[in-house]
Amino acid sequence: MNDKYFIDTNILVYSFNKKDEQKQNISQKIINDALEYSNGIISFQVVQEFLNVALRKFSIPLTFEDCVKYLNIVLEPLCEISPDMDLYRHALQISERWRYSFYDSLIISAAIKGDCKILYSEDLQHKQSIGNLVILNPFIELK
């Protein structure tokens, strides 16, 4: 994995999912490689979405203390994209052109802003190219 890549929220969530070991292992590898090789990034939106899910929707929610640890060890080192007006404008253009929801378009826009070649997501159209960015579902072979 030499190309810079963006990690969507669902990858982080699956890294905690013990009910689906295959998805958990794939997700953990993507995250660990991002941390080890500094080639994977996330945005503030991903941080917000993950913490919300971890605190409210996990079958056994993370404690606030565990969330702070994960924030310090994983989320903060990966978080390179902050929101700004250009990000929102670009997301609106993406939403209009490719008919993604606004929040999905923010993820795509953040990946493009971060100069990523790959966006790992289960929720978006596999192998779709938007500019120089390619969306890949890392779990596609499991289906």
Q: Is 126 within the bounds of a domain?
A: yes
Q: Is 142 within the bounds of a domain?
A: no
Q: Is 94 within the bounds of a domain?
A: no
Task: Please give the residue range of the domain that contains residue 126.
Answer: 5-83+116-136
Beta strand residue intervals within the chain, DSSP E: 5-7, 40-43, 79-81, 118-120, 129-130, 133-136
Mean pLDDT of the chain: 96
User: The tokens 């990966």 sit on which residue?
Assistant: 78
Q: Is 102 within the bounds of a domain?
A: no
Encode pLDDT of 53-81 as tens digits: 999 999 999 999 999 999 999 999 999 99
Q: Give mean pLDDT, residues 100-111.
A: 98
Q: Is 63 within the bounds of a domain?
A: yes
Encode pLDDT of 19-33 as tens digits: 999 999 999 999 999
Whether the per-residue pLDDT at 88 is higher than 80: the answer is yes
Q: At 18, is the pLDDT very low, low, confident or very high (cuts 50, 70, 90)?
A: very high
Domain count, the chain: 1
User: What local confidence, expressed as pLDDT, does residue 143 receive?
Assistant: 58
Whether the per-residue pLDDT at 121 is higher than 60: the answer is yes
Whether the per-residue pLDDT at 2 is higher than 80: the answer is no
- What pTM value is reported for the model? 0.96
Question: Tokens representing 136?
Answer: 């890949």
Q: Is 108 within the bounds of a domain?
A: no
Alpha-carbon span 40 to 79, nearest angstrom: 9
Encode pLDDT of 35-47 as tens digits: 999 999 999 999 9
Do the beta carbons of residue 10 and residue 122 sit within 8 Å?
yes
Q: Is 131 within the bounds of a domain?
A: yes
Beta strand residue intervals within 23-141, DSSP E: 40-43, 79-81, 118-120, 129-130, 133-136
